[in-house]
Amino acid sequence: MSRPVVLASLVGTAVLLTAFFVLSQTAFSHKNLATTPVITADRGAFEPSETDGTASSETADSEASSETAEAELGPKRFDFRLTSDDTFYSIMSLFGVSGTDIHKIARKSRPTFNLSRLRKGTVFRVFTLDGNFERAEYRLGEFDVLTIEKETDPEPKSIGYTIATRELPWEIREHRASGVINNSLYEAAIRGGTDPQTIMNLSDILAWDVDFASDIRKGDTFGVVHEKIFVEGKYLKTGKILGAEMMNNGKRVTAIYFEDSEGGTGYYDESGRSLRRTLLRSPLRYRRISSYFSKGRYHPVLKRYRPHHGIDYAAPTGTPVESAGSGRVTFAGWKRGYGNFITIKHDNSFSTAYGHLSRIRKGVKKGARVDQAQVIGYVGSTGISTGPHLHYEVRRGKKLVNPLNVRPKPNSTVPKADRERFAAVKDAMLVRLAGDLAVVASAETETGNAAGSDG
Ligand SMILES: [Zn+2]
């Protein structure tokens, strides 16, 4: 059987194909299945769900009365949402590619991607021309696609297919979101058109200036300009924050993203001071405070009152613990009730301590230098401890202090040589942020609701 005949008979066998074509669920309701997976090659985004609804129904209408042969002319696209039964072999067979060729392609592809490892739920895309296999594509990552292309004029010794990877066209667009906080920043930010990751990033950037657990007041406002990354015109994920502004309990906090001429990047306030401090606000990214600094606390294990000179952060075993600042390790090992314990002397007058670790990271030993935010160990429950948590202490000189009251200095400012450029970046960003907030403020007075976002 020649290829076109095989394909024609397969395309005609609607029942057989029903199981494979997963372009969109609605598309399946059409009687003539040959029409449902059809989209011209240069039309859709990589993921099938966005464009195919209209495209396939149009095709279905126009072709309902025409013959099957006509439907095979021209370029067509077939998207397979893979089930556990689909294999590279089974899909390629549908398009009349011989078993020998399929095995050759698989072998040639192996150094790039093992085609026996197609993942369930992903999309395998095939393009045909006049009913013949032309090209297949399989997404390897967020930005890359594997292509298998039939050679129009194959070399004598070649298998007749070219295997390559190609970077998908991507772009970064700026997105503004803003809102008035009624209950939580999270809720307001989602309503204002942004995503959970951006909210996490925002609370990281403003960690020293706003305590998101306790400082947020009803009526506080926020505005944020961040990147959105699109691949083939389709939204992939959120990118970095370029600027942010919060009115928190009457106090304005601003963050401007800036790249200095040395290649350093960071967030700065309006006067050019870094929003990062010599100590992190917390040595854990995701945390819940389970016990505060106090002068007398009933100790659940020792069963007596004793002062608690640190903060306990409840977190699952294995959560990475970061050094709060750059400095030198002064102790790393077992220390009685503290279990696995690390102390670090920082370059300023501070030192910090980390207790009950399940594990100390390799290379973290007495005398070693660590950077700010470098992972030094992992949360655990070693020593005298009732459950997985990090015991964290801060000392200024020799004196134990409450970590939540510490206000370390900004760890840098915009370099002198970049001041002018920073001023320009800042002014442009403030205009964007302020303009957006003004719109939201008027929406708020009219509707009692907050939302505002654009491209
Ligand atoms: Zn503790």
The whole-angstrom separation of Cα 59 and Cα 131 is 16
CA of 345 from ligand 1 middle (Å) equals: 19
**Six token digits for residue 276:** 């990062």
Q: How confident is the model at residue 293 (pLDDT cuts 50, 70, 90)?
A: low
- Give just the sign of the alpha carbon dihedral 264, 269, 275, 277: positive
Residue 148 and residue 175 in one domain: no
Output the pLDDT for position 187. 83
Output the pLDDT for position 283. 87
Q: In angstroms, how far is CA 313 from the centroid of its own chain?
A: 25
Q: In this structure, what CATH number is given to the domain that contains residue 216?
A: 3.10.450.350
Output the pLDDT for position 73. 80
Residue 283 falls inside a structural domain: no
Output the pLDDT for position 301. 59
Output the pLDDT for position 287. 52
Output the pLDDT for position 308. 75
Q: Is the pLDDT at 221 greater than 50, yes or no?
A: yes
Q: In this structure, what CATH number is given to the domain that contains residue 379?
A: 2.70.70.10
Residue 91 falls inside a structural domain: yes
Residue 355 and residue 223 in one domain: no
Give per-residue pLDDT as tens, 134-156.
999 999 999 999 999 998 776 66
Give per-residue pLDDT as tens, 282-291.
888 765 555 5
The whole-angstrom separation of Cα 29 and Cα 182 is 45
CA of 390 from ligand 1 middle (Å) equals: 7
- Domain of residue 363 covers 288-405
Residue 40 and residue 76 in one domain: yes
Residue 230 and residue 250 in one domain: yes
Residue 391 and residue 441 in one domain: no
CA of 201 from ligand 1 middle (Å) equals: 27
CA of 310 from ligand 1 middle (Å) equals: 6
342: helix, coil or strand? strand
Residue 214 and residue 102 in one domain: no
Output the pLDDT for position 130. 87
Residue 11 falls inside a structural domain: yes
Residue 281 falls inside a structural domain: no
Q: How confident is the model at residue 255 (pLDDT cuts 50, 70, 90)?
A: very high
DSSP 292-341: --EEEEEETTTTEEEEE-SEEEE--TT-EEE-SSSEEEEEEEE-GGG-EE
Q: Among 19-23, 68-72, 97-101, 139-143, name the one with the lowest average pLDDT.
A: 19-23
CA of 235 from ligand 1 middle (Å) equals: 44
Residue 133 and residue 271 in one domain: no
Residue 369 falls inside a structural domain: yes
DSSP 94-136: HTT--HHHHHHHHHHHTTT--GGGPPTTSEEEEEEETTEEEEE
CA of 354 from ligand 1 middle (Å) equals: 9
**Six token digits for residue 177:** 């979101």
**Which residues are in the CB-under-5-Å shell of ion ligand 1?**
310, 312, 391
Residue 231 and residue 360 in one domain: no
Most confident of the ranges 307-316, 407-416, 429-438: 407-416
Is the model's pTM score more than 0.85?
no
CA of 97 from ligand 1 middle (Å) equals: 66
Task: Residue 407: count other Cβ atoms within 10 Å of its Cβ.
Answer: 7
CA of 387 from ligand 1 middle (Å) equals: 11
CA of 32 from ligand 1 middle (Å) equals: 68
Residue 150 and residue 190 in one domain: no
Between residues 455 and 108, which one has the greater pLDDT?
108
Residue 420 and residue 271 in one domain: yes
The whole-angstrom separation of Cα 183 and Cα 201 is 19
Output the pLDDT for position 120. 92
CA of 383 from ligand 1 middle (Å) equals: 11
Domain total for the chain? Answer: 3
Distances from the Cα of 446 to the Cα of 184, 246, 313, 427, 449, angstroms: 21, 21, 42, 29, 8
Residue 176 and residue 162 in one domain: no
Last residue of a domain, one of 167, 188, 220: 167
CA of 336 from ligand 1 middle (Å) equals: 13
